[in-house]
Structure 1
Amino acid sequence: MTRRRVLRNAAAGAAVSAFGREARAAGQPNIVFIMADDLGYADVACYGRPDLATPHIDRIAARGVRFTQGYANSAVCSATRTALITGRYQYRLPVGLEEPVTTRFAGGIPAGHPTLPGLLREAGYRTALVGKWHLGSVREFGPLQRGYDAFWGFRGGTIDYFSHKGTDDKPDLWDGDVRIEEVGYATHLLGRRAVETVAAAATAGRPFFLSLHFNAPHWPWETPDDEAESRRIAGSNLRHFDGGTQETYRRIVAEMDTQIGRVLDALETHGVAQDTIVVFTSDNGGERFSDTWPFTGRKTELLEGGLRIPALVSWPRRLPRGVVSAQPMISMDWLPTLLAAAGAAPDPAHPSDGIDLLPILTGQAPERPRTFHWRYRANAQAAMRDGDLKYLRIRGNTFLFDVVADPLERANLKSRRPEDFARLEAAWAAWDATMLPERPDSFSETYTGAQLADHFGAPTPPAPPRPATAGEGPR
């Protein structure tokens, strides 16, 4: 054990909350962290989607807490995942400046930077990732090198549900660091592997942390009956703007919900459900077939629809049941929250930008206002939420909204409340100065009017600054 780790553990022990000490005394809970991909705020029944049944996701809400003001750290996936795994603003790390990571990016989370699975492993947990990684496609920056004991899934940003190839048309299914071949629909394979992981971990005598990161409902738009569509788009970058329907999207979400139900049943079968924290959330706001009501905007946009996400947590042994919380929260809050539940704490050399939500969830502390910051290079976007107010900048246009009274972001208050507008704009700039600067050579995804009809005013983005490989696309 290194001197740094001794100091880290000593500081972590001093920082553990009373709730965390109680959890340690009672036994560390297991943790199952379920993340959907590009799921919109209202894309599950318990958040209001009337045409889609998601009984198993709704089970998590019924057994625990449903946040109505949950935010993603970014409007795209790998940037949010950087914040989730580090508990810090993604703009502190070069990988977090990629919006998202593409096949041409060769980096990842730096060696030695603490991560959520790594900190939990130090606290005695067995850690496993089933599903999407998207934080570095080369082995040096893979999940086994960043805190996970086991990995079964894909390294890139998406795979075809049947061929399991990425946007570069290369196979991207792995067991650890070994590329494998499996036959089957990706969502079903991930569910099966997660159930097997729960079964093995529940009998191992150690607490376990399972990250179950689905591809669904990310494109390509393929249900279990759409293998012909998989063949049609083979060799492309999988985005197929001529594909998909609302019914296809509903089916993709429903298939994911079924697999989540299998995992919840496995926890019950093995007698560990009462002492298992289950989280369900998304990595960013919804994409082209999503329902983001009552918000506007979608993935790649700092409007509320691109940032608001479903966020549910249950822990039958500790948390109340069927609670709806208006506490604003964000992806990077999960690291300090889950570490506190495990009787651990963030590395003091890399303090979290999030907060421990457990005192609020258990009623030991009241709900409180929060301040969040975002930026997004495509279309020169910036945003900050401070209490109920939100500062927003898109392509030189600036706004001030009360997102509680006006979640659609229609009434621009910057002229009516100039002092508040100036205060938030200056505060955002001060925060931005503490982050890594934007890089003109980083990738930043956006949509144009040629791709999506409701983006008719959006220009075609400039060509990438570096040559791309054949078939390259956002992952």
Structure 2
Amino acid sequence: MRSLLITFVLLQSLFFLETNQVEAASPPNILFIFTDDQAPWALGQSGHPHAKTPNIDRIFQQGAYLVNSFTTTPVCSPSRASLVASRYGSELEITDWIHPRTEPNHGLKPDTVTWMKLLNESGYRTGLIGKWHLGLLDKHHPTQFGYDYFMGFRSGGNVPKDPTLEVNGKNTKLKGLLPDILVDDAIQFINKEQGTPFMLSLHFRAPHTRWLPVAEEDWAPFKDLDPQIPNPDYPDLNVKRVKKMTREYLASVASVDRNVGRLLQSLKQNQLDQNTIIIFSSDHGYNMGHNGIWHKGNGHWVLNKNPKPTPNIPAGQRPNMYDTSLKIPTAVLWPGVTQPNQMIKQTVSNLDWFPTLLEMAQTSKPDNLTIRGRSIVPLLKNEKQTEWDNDFYAEYSTKHQSKTHMRMYRTPEWKLIRDFLNPSRDELYHLTKDKDETNNLINSKDPQVIKIRNQLHQKILSQMKSIDDKVLLQQGQGT
């Protein structure tokens, strides 16, 4: 009898051990929080004196902070296309934000393979709540690209209060503040069917303009604030306007943060926090008086008097590839993998999410599928790297307010921007000496600077050739 009891106990122990091993090896949940027009500088974690972001900061502090994270194109639609497909916007024929009036039929090609689709096919319950901006037609609908569930808006624009959103396939006028409505729905999505791993993309519209109204508690810290601004001495800067916009922008960021706090609390209450990877990122950076402009890659001057227009650049416009437009705030909190206050300094981009998320979800990449990114899992696991290329290539062909073909190559030390449509706009910056990109060295006579400029130019051409960039052929730049 004693031997039978011992055998039973041993078998039971083995059963529980095997069960725990299976549970430990099960794919994690993934919560991808994605803001709109979120500047890396607009966080308490990055040292902003006025930002109120304790909940977002917690993700950065408890996980890995990727301080050199970039977008391939500093505007909404092509950045989002690169995120989901790991291809450049020029490859996907989405090179600028999709205009709902002038491009009502334009969107992500239906045959585009996305990581959401692959995760869904591998058993994940997938959802997108919030902004899509990759096409209005049904063939461009998020559910055509791997999302089981969608609640939000297909276009790029909406309003911060009482929005019209697609709910159960129908456009519905809802009451309340947009960030709160989206997170209410996200909490419901997460709480549903907890036995199945989920991947939820939560795409806030904030802090995209319009910034107000926000909840009173989000506005209170800023309504009477005289904010510090980054560039108060910029020649002819409209300081009053920059300060007003700064107050409103930071309030919009605070509205996101409050709702991120609600979401984190829900995960903890449902005991999902230890098996959920939380990713925080944005589609691109933002300027608020930096270099005399506000907005993103299709920037606007914020001066008392605008520079004169040129044939392709209207007065008031300042298309750019500044780091303030290209850099994005990014953190990954992966329980059991990332370490508190982990700092990753290697250069990464939104192209890298595709292979990264597949590896996180233990999902294989189809053979012969072209993707441009590389998995950052080894960086998150703090594995020793034999090599990691920290150079970065980006592109932006503006076609709405301005007409440009900007192509950029960046190393940790130098950055070259070529505008193949407007060569007089070319720029070269020595980043290690000029991180704010205020001294354009493109016309320098220094032989060493000329050598670097030529080397970076060849790297741009090589990148354009590798992705079959049509601008190269149009501009006769084949060599």
Q: TM-score range by the shorter chain?
A: 0.7 to 0.9
Q: CA deviation at 1:344?
A: 1.5
> Alignment partner for residue 364 of structure 1, among 380, 383, 391?
383
2:260 corresponds to which residue? 260
Give, in whole Å, the separation in 2 of the partners of 1:78 and 1:297: 15
Return the alpha-carbon distance in structure 2 between the equivalents of residues 184 and 107 of structure 1.
31
The partner residue of 1:343 within 341, 362, 368 is 362
How many Å separate the matches in 2 of 1:243 and 1:49?
14
Equivalent of 1:313 in 319, 322, 332: 332
CA deviation digits over 1:336-380, x for unaligned, max 9? 111101111333333221110011221223372333222222344
Q: Does 2:201 correspond to 1:211?
A: yes
2:111 corresponds to 1:112: yes
Q: Find the counterpart in structure 2 of residue 248 from structure 1.
A: 248
Structure 1 alignment gaps of length 5 or more: 1-21, 165-171, 227-240, 440-475
- The 1:312/1:152 distance shift into structure 2, 3 A limit, reads same
1:469 corresponds to: none
Maintained 8 Å contact 1:63/1:315 = no
> Match of 1:219, as an amino acid?
T
Q: 1:278 to 1:331 in 2, by over 3 A?
A: same
Structure 2 CA distance, aligned partners of 1:348 and 1:24?
Answer: 29
Separation in 2 of the partners of 1:65 and 1:93?
A: 30
Instruction: Give the Cα separation in 2 of the matches to 1:23 and 1:389.
Output: 48
Cα distance per residue 1:18-51 (max 9 Å; x no partner): xxxx999711111110111111120111012110
- The CA distance in 2 between the partners of 1:247 and 1:330, in whole Å, is 29
TM-fit CA distance, 1:296: 9.8
Q: Is the aligned partner of 1:196 residue 2:195? A: no
Shift of 1:189: 0.3
For 1:352, the equivalent position in structure 2 comes to 371
Letter in 2 for 1:419: K
Q: CA deviation at 1:383?
A: 0.7
The percent identity for this pair of structures is 29
Residue matched to 2:128? 129
Distance 1:357 1:23, change over 3 A: farther
Q: Does residue 386 of structure 2 align to residue 386 of structure 1?
A: no
Once the 2 structures are TM-superposed, how far is the Cα of residue 274 of structure 1 from its aligned partner?
1.3
Aligned with residue 342 of structure 2, among 320, 323, 330 = 323
Name the residue aligned to 1:167. Answer: none
Q: Please tell me the residue identity of whatever aligns with 1:36.
A: T
Distance change in 2, residues 1:242/1:44 (3 Å)? closer
Distance 1:291 1:31 in 2: 35
Q: Which structure 2 residues correspond to residues 18-417 of structure 1 after superposition, within 5 A?
A: 26-94=25-93, 96-105=94-103, 106-164=105-163, 172-201=164-193, 203=194, 205-224=195-214, 245-287=245-287, 290=288, 298-300=296-298, 301-366=320-385, 368-378=388-398, 379-394=404-419, 395-396=422-423, 397-412=425-440, 415=446, 416-417=448-449
Contact 2:211 2:251 in 1 (8 A): no
Greater RCO, CA 8 A, separation 6+: 1
Partners of 1:55 and 1:113 lie apart in 2 by: 37
CA separation in 1, counterparts of 2:343 and 2:242?
38
Is the alpha carbon distance of 1:103 and 1:302 closer, same or farther for their aligned partners in structure 2, counting shifts above 3 Å?
same
Deviations 1:57-94, CA, capped at 9 Å, x for gaps? 00101110111111012110111000001022222112
Structure 1 residue identity aligned to 2:196: R
Per-residue deviation at 1:413? 5.1
Aligned in 2, Cα 1:249/1:412: closer, same or farther, shift over 3 Å? closer
Q: CA deviation at 1:430?
A: 2.5
Distance 1:39 1:69 in 2: 15
Of 397-406 and 340-349, deviating more is 397-406
Change (3 A) 1:137 1:246: same
Counterpart secondary structure, 1:318: coil
- Aligned twin of 2:468: 435
Are 1:285 and 1:298, in contact at CA under 8 Å, matched by a contact in 2?
yes
Of 302-311 and 425-434, deviating more is 425-434
SS of the residue aligned with 1:417? Answer: helix
**Secondary structure of the corresponding residue to residue 56 of structure 1:** helix
Shifted more, 146-155 versus 409-418: the winner is 409-418
Confirm or deny: 8 A CA contact 2:390 2:411 kept in the other structure: yes
The answer for unaligned runs of 5 or more in structure 2 is 1-20, 217-240, 299-319, 399-403, 473-479
**In the alignment, is the contact (CA less than 8 A) between 2:177 and 2:215 conserved in 1?**
no
Q: How far is the alpha carbon of 1:432 from its aligned partner?
A: 1.6
Task: Return closer, same or farther for 1:159/1:296 CA change in 2, 3 Å cut-off.
Answer: closer
**Alpha-carbon distance between aligned partners in 2 of 1:156 and 1:23, rounded to the nearest angstrom:** 42
Deviation larger for 250-259 or 377-386: 377-386
Decide whether aligned partners of structure 1 residues 68 and 359 sit closer, same or farther in structure 2, where only a CA change above 3 A counts.
same
Compared with structure 1, are the counterparts of its residues 424 and 140 closer, same or farther at alpha carbon in structure 2 (3 Å cutoff)?
same
Which residue in 1 is equivalent to 2:453? 421
Question: Relative to 1, partners in 2 of residues 1:65 and 1:417: Cα closer, same or farther, differing over 3 Å?
Answer: same
Shift of 1:292: 6.4
Q: CA RMSD in A?
A: 2.7
Secondary structure, aligned partner of 2:415: strand
Check the 8 A contact 1:42/1:292 in 2, yes or no: no
Alpha-carbon spacing, 1:319–1:99, altered in 2? closer, same or farther (3 Å)? same
2:17 is matched with none
- Structure 1 residues 34 and 101 mapped into 2: Cα distance closer, same or farther (>3 Å)? farther
Provide closer, same or farther for how the CA distance between residues 350 and 176 of structure 1 changes in structure 2, counting only shifts above 3 A: farther
Q: Cα–Cα, structure 1 residues 140 and 298, in superposed 2: closer, same or farther, change >3 Å?
A: closer
Contact persistence 1:23–1:341 (CA under 8 A): no
| Inter-partner Cα distance in structure 2 for 1:223 and 1:175 | 23
State the AA in 1 paired with 2:427: F
What is the alpha-carbon distance in structure 2 between the residues aligned to residue 124 and residue 56 of structure 1?
30
Structure (1 or 2) with the larger CA radius of gyration: 2
Tell me which residue corresponds to 1:466: none
Q: Give, in whole Å, the separation in 2 of the partners of 1:86 and 1:53.
A: 33
Q: Secondary structure in 2 aligned to 1:110?
A: coil
Aligned length: 391
Cα distance between partner residues in 2 of 1:243 and 1:103: 32
